Amino acid sequence: MPLEYGKPDGERIPLAVKRHRATDPAQRIGSLFINPGGPGVPATETIDSIDPGSDTGPYSPAVLARFDVVGMDPRGVGDSGAVRCLTDEQRAEATAADFDPAVPGGKPLPELLDDARTFTDGCLAHHSPEFLASLSTDNVARDMDQVRAAIGEEQITFYGMSYGTVVGPMYATLFPDRVRQMVIDAPVDTKLWHNNTLDFLDDVSRSNEQTLDTWFETCRTEGPQVCPLGNGDPEAAFDALITRLEAQPLQVPPVEGLTPGGTLDGAVTLEAARAGAGARELWPTLTAGLLAAQQGNGTLLHFLISKVTVAPFGGPYAILQEPHTAVRCADWPRTTDIAAHTAAATKIADRDKRLASRAGYSALNCALWPAPNTDRFTEPLTGAGAPPVLIVGGRVDNVTPYHWAEAMTETMDNSVLLTREGVGHTSYRRSGPCIDDAVDATLINGVLPAGGTVCEVPPGTTRPPGPNGQ
């Protein structure tokens, strides 16, 4: 692809693309392009995970029968020249950094700024500023359209989740006549994404805190017989555990297939709680992990932090953090006023007493970004001229709050909002037949549910697994 679409004869960059062929070629409709989010999650890995014989895969058997599923790693992600900013040693140091949950940002601001300079200097050492500036979502959409043309499709069907809900509306806005159908799952507020970074991060932090509060409320409602943490006062027990672990961390030995081991202090436990509370299927594991940590065993909580959390919008360092940050910085306004970041971090820490973490300062890398995108796309992503878009929003989502789904429904010219009750980030293939049938009908037949449709899901339980995992 062209590095810069304004210079089509200039430097070109390679992109990785994988395709899973329709399992019923005689009934094939076309190509379903997917983006699994992040930013920074490789779409080709999602293609690799498809098992047509499984009932629990990322796409239904009906969808797999009718579509070639196409995954393109966005530029700077996965096998499309993944951004690298840290050496292995620096990444290990960042992963093992000692954060203080009582301090906004986890560290004093001078240390956070030093970390940001190390990160951004490393990005520039590994990549040209032109490449880093080119990682914006509008270029990803243009790349998708080049792939569409290369495989001979007049139109594409699209399913995107999380950050993929920026990619889809961008494509529908730039190329509305090339969209056959589109489903947007766990949408981002694209106006905030492109124009107001600190308010965006404020919303993310608040949704994290509210999701953990939902876990506390459920634990308290189910009672000590089901959720024994705190004997009816789980918040007090949780806070006491955080304080104790921050003062006296646990050393967690490696357990093959479960966790590589490490230190479990208060800050790491809060990240584990963020991960566990955000998915109702992990609530029992979170309960069991907190109870075990009270007894001096941090294995389950360390599992949550090391295996589940992948830094969606500000979180612990992981291999995905580098492309994740680079894409954000190419899309986001460059807020260089450090005092504004401090004000945002202070506000978040004062309000969100447990999971404020680094949210208020998680855009510092972008404040120091060495490759500003001088022609950022900031117009509303309306998808004007595209077919009706199905937007699926979860009522309690710790990454993309429900009001973002409402905002996208207002921004997109022709869209229908489908609401999923309950807790979780993304809904399709995770929430039962009400959601799955509506998504499949939209993708396959272009039949959308009535506006205002609400799908109930089985309530989550905080009951820890029994001796046999039941």
Provide the token pair at 424.
Answer: 């979780």
pLDDT for 358: 75
pLDDT for 311: 39
SS3 content of the chain, % helix, strand, coil (to 5): 45, 10, 40
Cα separation, 326 vs 134, whole angstroms: 10
Residue 436's identity, in one-letter code, is D
Cα separation, 399 vs 203, whole angstroms: 9
0.75 exceeded by the pTM?
yes
Q: What is the 3-state secondary structure (H, E, C) of 47-100?
A: HHCCCCCCCCCCCCHHHHHHEEEEEECCCCCCCCCCCCCCCHHHHHHHHCCCCC
CB count, 10 Å around CB of 118? 17
Provide the token pair at 314.
Answer: 């500000």
The SS3 assignment for 432 reads: coil
Q: What is the CA radius of gyration of the chain?
A: 22
Task: Of 230, 268, 256, 247, give the one whose Cα is nearest residue 462.
Answer: 230
User: Taking the chain, what is the end-to-end CA distance rounded to the nearest angstrom?
Assistant: 50
List domains and CATH numbers for the chain: 17-80+133-193+377-455 (3.40.50.1820), 84-126+203-332+335-368 (no CATH)
Cα separation, 215 vs 235, whole angstroms: 10
Q: What is the 3-state secondary structure (H, E, C) of 265-303?
A: CHHHHHHHHHHHHCCHHHHHHHHHHHHHHHCCCCHHHHH
Cα separation, 123 vs 119, whole angstroms: 6
Q: Enter the DSSP assignment of 21.
A: -
pLDDT for 307: 67
Cα separation, 314 vs 390, whole angstroms: 27
Residue 227: half-sphere exposure toward Cβ, Cα within 13 Å: 26
Residue 381, burial from CB neighbour count under 10 angstroms (0-12, 13-18, 19+): buried
pLDDT for 308: 62
Task: Of 231, 211, 284, 223, give the one whose Cα is nearest residue 461.
Answer: 284
Q: Enter the DSSP assignment of 230.
A: G
Cα separation, 424 vs 397, whole angstroms: 5
Q: Enter the DSSP assignment of 26.
A: G
Task: Of 355, 324, 321, 333, give the one whose Cα is nearest residue 104.
Answer: 355
Cα separation, 91 vs 318, whole angstroms: 8
Cα separation, 131 vs 394, whole angstroms: 35
* pLDDT per residue as tens, the chain (470 positions): 999 999 999 999 999 999 999 999 999 999 999 999 999 999 999 999 999 988 889 999 999 999 999 999 999 999 999 999 999 889 888 878 899 999 999 999 999 999 999 999 999 999 999 999 999 999 999 999 999 999 999 999 999 999 999 999 999 999 999 999 999 999 999 999 999 999 999 999 999 999 999 999 999 999 999 999 999 999 999 999 999 999 999 999 988 878 888 899 999 999 999 999 999 999 999 999 999 999 999 999 999 987 665 433 333 345 578 999 999 999 999 999 999 999 999 999 999 999 987 788 999 999 999 999 999 999 999 999 999 999 999 999 999 999 999 999 999 999 999 999 999 999 999 999 999 999 999 999 999 999 999 999 998 999 998 753 44
Contact 72, 60 (CB under 8 A): no
Peptide bond into 39 cis (omega under 30): yes
Biggest alpha carbon distance in the chain? 69
The SS3 assignment for 228 reads: coil
